[in-house]
Amino acid sequence: MAKKILAILSNFGYWGVELTGPMLKLEEAGYELTFVTPKGERPVALPPSYDTSYVDPPLGVCVTTQEDADEVAAIKDDAKLDNPINLSSWFPERPYYSTPDFLRKLEQYFSTLKELENELEEYDGLLLVGGSGPIIDMVNNQRVHDIILSFNKNKKPIGAICYGVACLVFARDFNERQSIIQGKHVTGHCLEYDYHDGTGFIGTDLNIGPPPYVLEYLLTDAVGSEGKYHGNFGKETSVIVDYPFITARSLQCSHEFGEKFVDVLENGLKRYGW
């Protein structure tokens, strides 16, 4: 049987190496990636992510190596990204309480999700690609949450990097309302590395300043007292495996993130980095 990974990317810009880092490692291990975007539009790499002169303000250094820039340049216009699955037409939208005949429509919503679980069975793992774009159309996207919940229910690996990790905070059963990462060990963008200004998105000239939320605080609250958020400030990389979750802090972790994702899939790795 083919080995397949479902990869969700934003339509408002992904950070280049946060796709290529894990993607190349997964492809080397024989996995084929199927791409999904919230509206079915072709994902676009954020320009700073393949600019070797770009200086990351919190770190004060150029963060994109020539090797990474070359990898991103080789994939950002590749035909494999041309026709991603349109998530908005693939997965249903949960009805409002005010919708006429709400109960019947809610029952239909859950019935459809159960049917779609069969389609997700062909995938061995889920990849949530980071960048600033996910803040807009992935983090609080109920359809993204439903896919995450399905992979978690079936105990399949879920890899998330940078602001892709934020999706895990809000992926909650509609009735239980409890984060699926409660009690888990995770990493993600720490406060020291957050921008003061300049967070932008593909398809708009809008500069929203700093990110609209502090991911470190969200993750700390979501994992609760039985889990732990690991920022690993001062360390070059931060990758945490607490099965089924593989989380990575930011772009510098992309290659290690890919290696551990493969290690989870191929060798049964259950714990790493804590």
Q: State pLDDT tens for residues 76-103.
A: 999 999 999 999 999 999 999 999 999 9
Structural tokens at position 43: 């994902």
Residue found under tokens 């007292």: 225
User: What is the DSSP-derived secondary structure letter of residue 163?
Assistant: G
The DSSP symbol for 191 reads G
Rounded distance, CA 249 to CA 233, Å? 10
pLDDT in tens, 241-257: 999 999 999 999 999 99
What integer is the mean pLDDT of 28-57?
96
CB contact at 8 A, 10 and 138: yes
What is the reported pLDDT for 2?
86
Structure tokens at 93: 């939208």
pLDDT digits (tens, 9 = 90+) for 148-198: 999 999 999 999 999 999 999 999 999 899 999 999 999 999 999 999 998
Distance, in Å, from the CA atom of 102 to the CA atom of 253, rounded to the nearest integer, reads: 44
Q: Which domains does the chain show, CATH number per domain? A: 3-272 (3.40.50.880)
Helix (H, G, I), strand (E, B) or coil at 160: strand
Range in 25-39, 192-206, 229-243, 245-259 with the lowest mean pLDDT = 192-206
